[in-house]
Amino acid sequence: MSDNKREQERTELYRTIWALANELRGSVDGWDFKQYVLGMLFYRYISENLTTYLNKGEWDAGNTDFDYAKISDEEASSVRDDIVQEKGFFILPSELFGNLLNRIKKADKDAKEKDGKEVEVADLDENLNEILQTNFKNIEASAIGSPSEENFKGLFDDIDVNSNKLGPTVIKRNKRLKKLITVIGDMELGNYQDNSIDAFGDTYEYLMGMYASNAGKSGGEFFTPQEVSELLTKITLVGKTEVNKVYDPAVGSGSLLLKFAKILGKENVRNGFFGQEINITTYNLCRINMFLHDIGYDKFSIEHGDTLVDPKHWDEEPFEAIVSNPPYSIRWEGADNGTLINDPRFSPAGVLAPKSKADFAFIMHSLHWLATNGTAAIVCFPGIMYRGGAEQKIRKYLIDNNYIECIIQLPDNLFYGTSIATCIMVLKKSKIDNSTLFIDASKEFTKATNSNKLDPKNIANILNAYTSRKSKDHFAALVKQEDIEKEDYNLSVSTYVESEDTREVVDIAVLNEQISQIVRRENTLRTEIDAIIAEIEEA
């Protein structure tokens, strides 16, 4: 199959998924309903993942008639401990997504065939929510006491199968859940044997992007557009074909971290993927996203909590690659917490980020956890580049210690929920010179329906300017440390990169001749009109 044909099929699949997701949600807000769609997608994925893994093992051993989905729960339980050690979780055959789907389809078929008309099927209409809740709890419980316990704990908490939002009665809620399971089950997402399981991860990313774009600010806080993720990732990977560990202090749905798996191959992120997220729902979605992209439980550590005051990865830092799109100018404890000024992440600057604007707290945290040979690429609110007070003092610290390698001005309207033209700050601890590169990429975009996009050519242009590290009229400026100091440590790209004057140059001589022609023509017309009027009066 050609790449073009495959892309067409994938696009059609995405359209179908989005239409069905909207049809299914009913009265549930789209951003809230995503938990049900993505959670059920995850339930299907881990069921197929486990089944394929166990079937392949038996088939390779010569037992080609084996099918894990068809054996008894009792027989499966005998190898439970071994499976948990290898896969991180366990699902009884009777609790597999596929077997539940078959039950639903058989019940619906029986109902339609009985007396030639549809009748209620009490078992699933009345009990499906309980069955799902039991299955989810059993999956989570299977990891208790194993190294994967933290990765599965509370993973299904946000899929509330008893929520009134799904319907006012149990039967109506279960009918919607039945339809959701059927829709997810009928999606053509490939299978493990054909190495096309990435469709699960791609589908997740597509749905997250669509939900975020339709949810406005609430969705945009947790999802970075894929092309921006690609740019950030490639910036940190210049000159590298592998990294030890990657980290995002405001990990959201995990899309930034997973770009490393896509660009490098997950095996080339040698020691795994690390991140922290303060929002519990998004934290759960991020862990689901890791599994859907086939990242093993022993290869990622996603933690829940406030990174700025309670960071969870002290034992894993430093990190060779750090990427992040932290929330813009949010409040944090700052000076209200007397211990933070002595925190080794913040104390070197001698001042804390303002309580009302935590942007530089994320930057200082990332810098402290950055490896000596590493690179951090952080999306920033533009105001932090020029505001005074504590933020100016932190900029001074960063420039005086030669930590800022590059500032990139991005186009406006790239991100969900905001039209602001954001920036990227690139940090390094081992720079090759005492200058900072400023790139004006504000015109590097392609117009889309509701937003601007970075296409491959735009990304390539930005990366070429970043890697060449040379001044270029109206696009890039390599600025010495002392020149930045003269500008009071203002880091706005427009301070150093002069915008191109696109106004049309006017030739005064030509303009005067055109005016003269207009005047002569006007005089001629006036004479002709006067003659016509005179003729009329004589008549």
pLDDT in tens, 482-512: 999 999 999 999 999 998 765 566 678 877 8
Question: According to the model, what pLDDT value does residue 438 have?
Answer: 98
Q: Taking all residues of the chain, what is their mean pLDDT, rounded to a whole number?
A: 87
* pLDDT tens figures, 55-100: 999 998 899 999 999 999 999 999 999 999 999 999 999 999 999 9
Residue 227 pLDDT > 50, yes or no? yes
* pLDDT tens figures, 439-477: 999 999 998 767 788 999 999 999 999 999 999 999 999
Q: Which letter, b or e, does each residue of 328-349 get, where b requires 16 or more Cβ atoms within 10 Å of its Cβ?
A: bbbebbbeeeeebeebebbeeb
The separation between the first and the last C-alpha atoms of the chain, rounded to the nearest angstrom, is 85
Question: According to the model, what pLDDT value does residue 527 have?
Answer: 79
Residue 121 pLDDT > 60, yes or no? no
Residue 260 pLDDT > 90, yes or no? yes
3-class SS of residue 312: coil
Lowest mean pLDDT among 173-182, 271-280, 393-402: 173-182
Residues 6+ apart with CB under 8 A from 98: 44, 47, 48, 51, 69, 185
Q: How far is CA 164 from CA 104, 160, 173, 518, in A?
A: 22, 9, 8, 75
Q: What is the mean pLDDT of residues 240-244?
A: 96
Helices (H) and strands (E) in the chain, counts: 19, 11
**How sure is the predictor about 237, in pLDDT bands with cuts at 50, 70 and 90?**
very high
- The Cα–Cα gap between 524 and 278 comes to 78
> In a 10 Å sphere around its CB, with 0-12 CB exposed, 13-18 middle and 19+ buried, how is residue 169 labelled?
exposed
Question: According to the model, what pLDDT value does residue 76 have?
Answer: 95
Residue 321 pLDDT > 50, yes or no? yes
Question: According to the model, what pLDDT value does residue 219 have?
Answer: 47
Residue 324 pLDDT > 80, yes or no? yes
**How sure is the predictor about 195, in pLDDT bands with cuts at 50, 70 and 90?**
very low
Question: According to the model, what pLDDT value does residue 418 have?
Answer: 67
Question: According to the model, what pLDDT value does residue 479 have?
Answer: 98
Q: Give 328's DSSP letter.
A: T
Choice between 447 and 142, residue whose per-residue pLDDT is larger = 142
Q: What is the mean pLDDT of residues 45-50?
A: 93
**How sure is the predictor about 193, in pLDDT bands with cuts at 50, 70 and 90?**
very low
Q: Give 423's DSSP letter.
A: E
Q: What percent of the chain has pLDDT over 70?
A: 87
What predicted TM-score, i.e. pTM, was given to this entire model? 0.84
Spatial CA neighbour of 425 closest among 306, 329, 325, 330: 325
- The Cα–Cα gap between 374 and 367 comes to 10
Lowest mean pLDDT among 5-19, 40-54, 201-215: 5-19
What is the maximum span of the chain, computed from C-alpha positions, in angstroms?
Answer: 119
Residue 198 pLDDT > 60, yes or no? no
Q: Which amino acid is at 503?
A: R
Question: According to the model, what pLDDT value does residue 125 have?
Answer: 75
- The Cα–Cα gap between 114 and 116 comes to 5
Q: Give 324's DSSP letter.
A: E
Ramachandran quadrant class, 334 (left: phi over 0; alpha: psi -120 to 50; beta: rest): left
Lowest mean pLDDT among 119-128, 428-437, 513-522: 119-128
Question: According to the model, what pLDDT value does residue 3 have?
Answer: 57
Alpha helices in 323-471 (DSSP H): 359-368, 390-400, 456-468
Question: According to the model, what pLDDT value does residue 78 have?
Answer: 93
Q: How far is CA 521 from CA 469, 514, 529, 534, in A?
A: 57, 11, 12, 20
Question: According to the model, what pLDDT value does residue 539 have?
Answer: 58
3-class SS of residue 338: coil
Q: What is the mean pLDDT of residues 393-398?
A: 98
**How sure is the predictor about 2, in pLDDT bands with cuts at 50, 70 and 90?**
low
- The Cα–Cα gap between 274 and 252 comes to 12
